[in-house]
Amino acid sequence: MSIRDTHRLLPGADGTAHHLYVDRFGPSGTGRKVYVQAGLHADEVPGMLVAAWLKTRLRALEEAGSLRAECVVLSVANPIGLGQAVLGYPLGRFDLASGRNFNRGFPMLAAQIGDAIEGRLNGFALHNRAVVREAWRELLDKAAPRHPVDDLQRTLMQLSIDADIVLDLHCSREAAMHIYTGEAIWNEAEPLARYLGARASLLAFDSGGQSFDEAHSLTWWQLQERFRGRYPIPNGCVSVTIEHRGQRDVSDELARQDAEAIISYLTYAGMIDAAVEPLPPLPHPATPLAGSEQFYAPATGVLLHRVEEGAHVQAGDEMFVVVDPVEGTRTAVHSSTSGVFYMRRDVRYVRAGDPLGRVTGEKTLRSGYLLGA
Ligand SMILES: [Zn+2]
């Protein structure tokens, strides 16, 4: 029987409270765990519906005795953001009290974990994985969050650091299905990209944003680097941010399709006792996140889109036109890379310098901070 735990977050003021509902399916104590959360950016609704469908499927699989792993699902991972609105518009990406992006600045603890486990490692990767997880948990448990957002981030990490698969369900503004994941774990994440039909798979070791998926993958990679040549440290988990298209792409058909893709991946990974679905081809090869071309508005005015999201474009293709509504002048923006136009902003009036959208690219173009605001 599935279990629901309720976790109360640190209140922001007297008399207020936010709660996380943590649904657990399948056997605990098998040593295998899957963690899925949706709505960390609380105005990104498609993932919440995917999570709802996923829970329906997991409940049925649990009743049939087919789950081989504990599956933890938070279909609303950010009640703080979900409760925010400004003048009638939902605002779930940033914490209104602090201005912080809910999916940036997660605690990065590789250095402290490394210090704590010196002398406790041996030549067995599975032993070292358990040692890392234990030290990580102790550090998170010891932290004393002062702000509700810190408590939210700490709690989401506490719930997920011992999972073998960690999926963070997001969406973009207007977008095709795409994913972000760690370069070191791409081989393990690739089947998920196939089942999802990801038009783009964007890889980085460190995007600089301390996002939730990187708080997992980058920590393991940093520990691997620290102990390289001395002790084997495994990848720890496969953590992936899934962008379930654009904010308005909310339908039962899409959500059900995406939930089935996740179930297929969990089956492939041995978490579900069922026949493995054949792996579909990967729509496009993975590309470095640092290779994506970011377009900016060259002028202020009305924005016209020339290319649909998800399209494959060639270098030189016209991507956008900005029309000055007073003078009628038009300024075009062309792609300088060939790749997939995987996301674009949803505004139709832009100011000079505003970001417009992104195309994948194979060559590294950017360095440092690679994510959007
Ligand atoms: Zn997001």
Q: Ligand 1: distance of its center to the CA of 175 in Å?
A: 12
Centroid of ligand 1 to alpha carbon of 365 (angstroms):
23
Closest CA to 152 of 97, 195, 114, 219: 97
CA contacts within 13 A on the Cβ side of 160: 28
pLDDT band at 371 (very low <50, low <70, confident <90, very high): low
**DSSP 8-state assignment for residue 170:** E
Give the pTM: 0.97
What are the residues whose beta carbon lies below 5 Å from ligand 1 (ion)?
41, 44, 170
| Kind plus residue range of the DSSP H or E element containing 213 | helix 212-227
Query: What percentage of the chain has pLDDT greater than the value 70?
Result: 98
- Centre of ligand 1 from the C-alpha of residue 77, in Å: 12
How many A from CA of 44 to the centre of ligand 1?
6
Q: Which of 366, 365, 371, 306 is nearest to 333 (CA)?
A: 306
Delineate the domains of the chain, giving CATH numbers in brackets: 3-287 (3.40.630.10), 292-359 (2.40.50.100)
* Per-residue model confidence (pLDDT) at position 366: 67
Q: Do 204 and 292 form a contact (C-beta atoms < 8 A)?
A: no
CA-derived radius of gyration, the chain: 21
Decide: helix, strand or coil at residue 139: helix
Task: Determine the Cα–Cα distance for residues 322 and 296; give it in Å rounded to an integer.
Answer: 11
Residue 243 has pLDDT above 70, yes or no: yes
**What's the CA-to-centroid distance between 244 and ligand 1, angstroms?**
10
How do the residues of the chain divide into helix, strand and coil, expressed in percent and rounded to 5? 30, 25, 45
How many A from CA of 280 to the centre of ligand 1? 26
- Residue 270 has a CB neighbour count (10 Å cut-off) of 12
Summarize pLDDT for 116-137 with one digit per residue, the tens: 999 999 999 999 999 999 999 9
294 — pLDDT class (breaks 50, 70, 90): very high
* 280 contact partners, CB below 8 Å, separation of at least 6: 194, 195, 197
CA of 220 to the centre of ligand 1 (A): 22
Answer whether residue 73 shows pLDDT above 80. yes
Q: What is the mean pLDDT of residues 340-357?
A: 97
Which carries the bigger pLDDT value, residue 251 or residue 365? 251
Tokens of 59: 């409940």
- Residue 225 C-alpha to ligand 1 middle, in angstroms? 29
More confident residue, 153 or 207: 153
Indicate if the pLDDT at residue 277 is higher than 90: yes
Residue 75: both structure tokens together: 């279909």
pLDDT for position 373: 67
What confidence tens digit (pLDDT) does each residue in 2-37 have?
899 999 999 999 999 999 999 999 999 899 999 999
* Centre of ligand 1 from the C-alpha of residue 214, in Å: 13
Tokens representing 172 are 């973009």
What is the distance in A from the centroid of ligand 1 to the CA of 95? 13
State CA 364 to chain mean position distance: 21
Q: How far is the CA of 137 from the centre of ligand 1 (A)?
A: 25
Give me the phi and psi of 56, to 5 degrees please.
-60, -45
How far away, in angstroms, is 53 Cα from ligand 1 center?
A: 19
Query: Is the pLDDT score of 270 beyond 80?
Result: yes
